[in-house]
Chain A
Amino acid sequence: NAGVMQNPRHLVRRRGQEARLRCSPMKGHSHVYWYRQLPEEGLKFMVYLQKENIIDESGMPKERFSAEFPKEGPSILRIQQVVRGDSAAYFCASSPDRETEAFFGQGTRLTVV
Protein backbone atom coordinates (compact mmCIF):
# COMPACT_ATOMS: atom_id res chain seq x y z
CA ASN A 1 0.00 0.00 0.00
CA ALA A 2 1.69 3.16 -1.18
CA GLY A 3 1.73 6.09 1.17
CA VAL A 4 0.28 9.52 0.54
CA MET A 5 1.71 10.74 -2.75
CA GLN A 6 2.24 14.40 -3.45
CA ASN A 7 3.48 15.91 -6.67
CA PRO A 8 5.40 17.70 -7.71
CA ARG A 9 7.94 17.55 -4.87
CA HIS A 10 9.34 20.92 -5.89
CA LEU A 11 7.56 23.65 -7.80
CA VAL A 12 8.91 27.01 -8.93
CA ARG A 13 6.53 29.69 -10.09
CA ARG A 14 6.94 33.33 -11.04
CA ARG A 15 4.84 35.93 -9.28
CA GLY A 16 1.38 36.05 -10.81
CA GLN A 17 1.38 32.48 -12.09
CA GLU A 18 -0.83 29.67 -10.86
CA ALA A 19 0.36 26.75 -8.74
CA ARG A 20 -1.43 23.41 -8.69
CA LEU A 21 -0.44 20.92 -6.02
CA ARG A 22 -1.66 17.34 -6.17
CA CYS A 23 -2.27 14.82 -3.42
CA SER A 24 -3.19 11.19 -3.92
CA PRO A 25 -4.36 9.74 -0.58
CA MET A 26 -3.56 6.28 0.61
CA LYS A 27 -5.77 3.55 -0.80
CA GLY A 28 -9.08 3.45 1.00
CA HIS A 29 -8.67 6.93 2.48
CA SER A 30 -11.45 9.37 1.69
CA HIS A 31 -10.44 12.18 4.08
CA VAL A 32 -7.77 14.66 3.02
CA TYR A 33 -6.15 17.51 4.95
CA TRP A 34 -3.88 20.22 3.59
CA TYR A 35 -1.30 22.06 5.71
CA ARG A 36 1.20 24.81 4.99
CA GLN A 37 4.62 25.06 6.64
CA LEU A 38 6.63 28.24 6.44
CA PRO A 39 10.41 27.96 7.02
CA GLU A 40 11.33 27.29 10.65
CA GLU A 41 7.68 27.05 11.67
CA GLY A 42 5.11 24.41 12.47
CA LEU A 43 2.45 23.22 10.10
CA LYS A 44 -0.73 25.27 9.84
CA PHE A 45 -4.03 23.65 8.93
CA MET A 46 -5.61 24.93 5.74
CA VAL A 47 -8.50 22.74 4.63
CA TYR A 48 -10.20 19.41 5.26
CA LEU A 49 -12.00 17.62 2.45
CA GLN A 50 -13.89 14.44 1.88
CA LYS A 51 -14.74 13.14 -1.55
CA GLU A 52 -16.46 15.97 -3.45
CA ASN A 53 -16.98 18.01 -0.27
CA ILE A 54 -15.12 20.71 1.60
CA ILE A 55 -15.70 20.03 5.29
CA ASP A 56 -13.58 22.73 6.94
CA GLU A 57 -11.73 25.50 5.14
CA SER A 58 -11.19 27.71 8.15
CA GLY A 59 -7.43 27.83 7.54
CA MET A 60 -7.59 28.79 3.90
CA PRO A 61 -6.78 32.35 2.86
CA LYS A 62 -9.94 34.02 1.58
CA GLU A 63 -8.51 34.89 -1.80
CA ARG A 64 -6.47 33.07 -4.44
CA PHE A 65 -6.54 29.68 -2.68
CA SER A 66 -8.94 26.86 -3.47
CA ALA A 67 -9.04 23.11 -2.93
CA GLU A 68 -10.99 20.22 -4.34
CA PHE A 69 -11.18 16.46 -3.92
CA PRO A 70 -13.16 15.06 -6.85
CA LYS A 71 -14.87 11.71 -6.94
CA GLU A 72 -12.09 10.43 -9.16
CA GLY A 73 -8.50 11.54 -9.05
CA PRO A 74 -6.26 13.35 -6.59
CA SER A 75 -7.02 16.25 -4.33
CA ILE A 76 -5.83 19.55 -5.77
CA LEU A 77 -4.69 22.66 -3.91
CA ARG A 78 -4.74 25.59 -6.30
CA ILE A 79 -3.06 28.92 -5.70
CA GLN A 80 -3.81 31.65 -8.21
CA GLN A 81 -1.61 34.69 -8.86
CA VAL A 82 1.11 33.48 -6.51
CA VAL A 83 3.13 35.95 -4.45
CA ARG A 84 6.47 35.52 -2.71
CA GLY A 85 4.72 34.99 0.61
CA ASP A 86 3.16 31.80 -0.76
CA SER A 87 6.61 30.18 -0.78
CA ALA A 88 6.33 27.31 1.68
CA ALA A 89 6.08 23.56 2.00
CA TYR A 90 2.55 22.27 1.49
CA PHE A 91 1.68 18.94 3.08
CA CYS A 92 -1.25 16.68 2.50
CA ALA A 93 -2.45 14.05 4.95
CA SER A 94 -5.10 11.38 4.49
CA SER A 95 -7.13 9.12 6.75
CA PRO A 96 -9.88 6.53 6.27
CA ASP A 97 -12.23 8.33 8.65
CA ARG A 98 -12.43 11.14 11.20
CA GLU A 99 -11.40 8.94 14.09
CA THR A 100 -8.15 7.56 12.73
CA GLU A 101 -4.72 9.11 12.65
CA ALA A 102 -3.85 10.76 9.36
CA PHE A 103 -0.70 9.91 7.39
CA PHE A 104 1.32 12.67 5.78
CA GLY A 105 2.85 12.90 2.35
CA GLN A 106 6.36 14.17 1.68
CA GLY A 107 5.13 17.61 0.76
CA THR A 108 5.44 20.00 -2.17
CA ARG A 109 7.94 22.79 -1.78
CA LEU A 110 6.69 25.85 -3.60
CA THR A 111 9.12 28.62 -4.43
CA VAL A 112 7.81 31.86 -5.90
CA VAL A 113 10.43 33.92 -7.71
Chain B
Amino acid sequence: GESVGLHLPTLSVQEGDNSIINCAYSNSASDYFIWYKQESGKGPQFIIDIRSNMDKRQGQRVTVLLNKTVKHLSLQIAATQPGDSAVYFCAEPGSARQLTFGSGTQLTVLP
Protein backbone atom coordinates (compact mmCIF):
# COMPACT_ATOMS: atom_id res chain seq x y z
CA GLY B 1 0.00 0.00 0.00
CA GLU B 2 0.98 3.66 -0.08
CA SER B 3 3.38 4.69 2.63
CA VAL B 4 5.58 7.42 3.93
CA GLY B 5 8.87 6.20 5.31
CA LEU B 6 12.28 7.28 6.46
CA HIS B 7 15.76 6.25 5.35
CA LEU B 8 17.59 6.18 8.68
CA PRO B 9 16.30 5.54 12.18
CA THR B 10 18.99 7.57 14.02
CA LEU B 11 21.16 10.59 13.35
CA SER B 12 23.83 12.11 15.59
CA VAL B 13 25.27 15.55 14.88
CA GLN B 14 27.59 17.91 16.66
CA GLU B 15 26.07 21.01 18.16
CA GLY B 16 26.33 23.82 15.65
CA ASP B 17 26.44 21.55 12.62
CA ASN B 18 23.63 21.24 10.12
CA SER B 19 21.28 18.24 10.22
CA ILE B 20 19.59 16.59 7.28
CA ILE B 21 16.72 14.17 7.83
CA ASN B 22 15.33 12.29 4.86
CA CYS B 23 11.96 10.84 3.97
CA ALA B 24 10.73 8.80 1.01
CA TYR B 25 7.16 8.47 -0.14
CA SER B 26 5.57 6.12 -2.61
CA ASN B 27 2.36 7.84 -3.74
CA SER B 28 3.05 9.90 -6.85
CA ALA B 29 -0.23 11.74 -6.31
CA SER B 30 0.85 13.06 -2.90
CA ASP B 31 0.62 16.83 -2.90
CA TYR B 32 1.26 17.96 0.64
CA PHE B 33 3.75 16.97 3.33
CA ILE B 34 4.37 18.01 6.90
CA TRP B 35 7.36 17.60 9.20
CA TYR B 36 6.74 17.05 12.91
CA LYS B 37 9.07 17.08 15.89
CA GLN B 38 8.33 14.86 18.86
CA GLU B 39 10.26 15.34 22.07
CA SER B 40 10.38 12.58 24.63
CA GLY B 41 7.08 12.21 26.45
CA LYS B 42 5.31 14.80 24.34
CA GLY B 43 2.98 14.97 21.38
CA PRO B 44 4.12 15.80 17.84
CA GLN B 45 4.72 19.45 17.12
CA PHE B 46 4.29 20.98 13.66
CA ILE B 47 7.57 22.26 12.19
CA ILE B 48 7.02 23.08 8.55
CA ASP B 49 4.98 21.95 5.58
CA ILE B 50 5.36 21.96 1.81
CA ARG B 51 3.02 21.54 -1.14
CA SER B 52 3.91 19.69 -4.30
CA ASN B 53 3.96 22.88 -6.38
CA MET B 54 7.06 23.91 -4.43
CA ASP B 55 10.60 22.48 -4.38
CA LYS B 56 11.75 24.29 -1.29
CA ARG B 57 10.35 26.07 1.70
CA GLN B 58 12.22 27.83 4.48
CA GLY B 59 11.33 28.53 8.06
CA GLN B 60 13.30 29.65 11.04
CA ARG B 61 16.51 27.52 10.91
CA VAL B 62 14.65 24.82 8.98
CA THR B 63 14.34 24.14 5.28
CA VAL B 64 12.28 21.45 3.60
CA LEU B 65 13.22 20.23 0.12
CA LEU B 66 10.90 18.23 -2.09
CA ASN B 67 12.12 16.18 -5.05
CA LYS B 68 9.06 14.86 -6.83
CA THR B 69 11.10 13.03 -9.44
CA VAL B 70 12.49 10.58 -6.91
CA LYS B 71 9.66 11.03 -4.39
CA HIS B 72 11.90 12.24 -1.65
CA LEU B 73 11.80 15.05 0.83
CA SER B 74 14.27 16.25 3.41
CA LEU B 75 14.33 18.44 6.47
CA GLN B 76 17.42 20.53 7.00
CA ILE B 77 18.11 22.09 10.39
CA ALA B 78 20.77 24.78 10.45
CA ALA B 79 23.13 25.22 13.40
CA THR B 80 21.63 22.32 15.31
CA GLN B 81 21.08 22.99 19.00
CA PRO B 82 20.62 20.63 21.98
CA GLY B 83 16.93 21.52 22.02
CA ASP B 84 16.61 20.03 18.54
CA SER B 85 17.17 16.53 19.94
CA ALA B 86 13.93 14.69 19.23
CA VAL B 87 12.28 12.25 16.85
CA TYR B 88 11.36 13.79 13.52
CA PHE B 89 8.51 12.46 11.39
CA CYS B 90 7.39 13.28 7.92
CA ALA B 91 3.65 12.93 7.46
CA GLU B 92 1.12 13.12 4.68
CA PRO B 93 -2.46 14.28 5.24
CA GLY B 94 -5.28 12.30 3.73
CA SER B 95 -8.49 13.65 2.27
CA ALA B 96 -9.86 14.45 5.72
CA ARG B 97 -6.48 15.63 7.08
CA GLN B 98 -5.89 12.35 8.87
CA LEU B 99 -2.13 11.92 8.90
CA THR B 100 0.00 9.03 7.69
CA PHE B 101 3.30 9.20 9.55
CA GLY B 102 6.68 7.78 8.67
CA SER B 103 8.52 5.69 11.22
CA GLY B 104 10.68 8.57 12.48
CA THR B 105 14.33 9.55 12.82
CA GLN B 106 15.86 10.04 16.24
CA LEU B 107 18.11 13.11 16.13
CA THR B 108 20.72 13.35 18.87
CA VAL B 109 22.76 16.53 19.23
CA LEU B 110 26.22 15.93 20.67
CA PRO B 111 27.94 18.61 22.79
Contacts and interface: CB of A to CB of B under 8 A. Distances in A.
Q: Do A and B come from one complex?
A: yes
Interface of A: 4, 31, 33, 35, 41-45, 48, 55-56, 59, 91, 93, 95, 98-99, 101-107
Given A42-B89, A42-B102, A44-B101, A107 B96 contact: no
B97 A45 contact: no
Interface string B80-107: 0000000001000010111111111000
A42 B98 contact: no
Contacts of B94: 45
Interface of B: 34, 41-46, 49, 89, 94, 96-104
A106 B101 CA distance: 17
Contact of A104 (B43, B96, B104): B43
Nearest to B34: A101
B27 to A, nearest CB: 15
Given A42-B103, A42-B104, A56 B98 contact: yes
A91 B49 contact: no
A56 B46 contact: no
A101 B43 contact: no
A95 B100 CA distance: 16
19 contacts: A4-B43, A35-B101, A42-B102, A42-B103, A43-B44, A43-B99, A43-B101, A45-B94, A45-B98, A45-B100, A55-B96, A59-B98, A91-B44, A99-B97, A101-B46, A104-B43, A106-B42, A106-B43, A107-B42
Nearest to A41: B103
Contacts of A42: 89, 101-104
A91 B96 CA distance: 17
A56 B98 CA distance: 9
Contacts of A95: 97
Given A42-B89, A91-B43, A107-B43, A98 B101 contact: no
B41 to A, nearest CB: 8
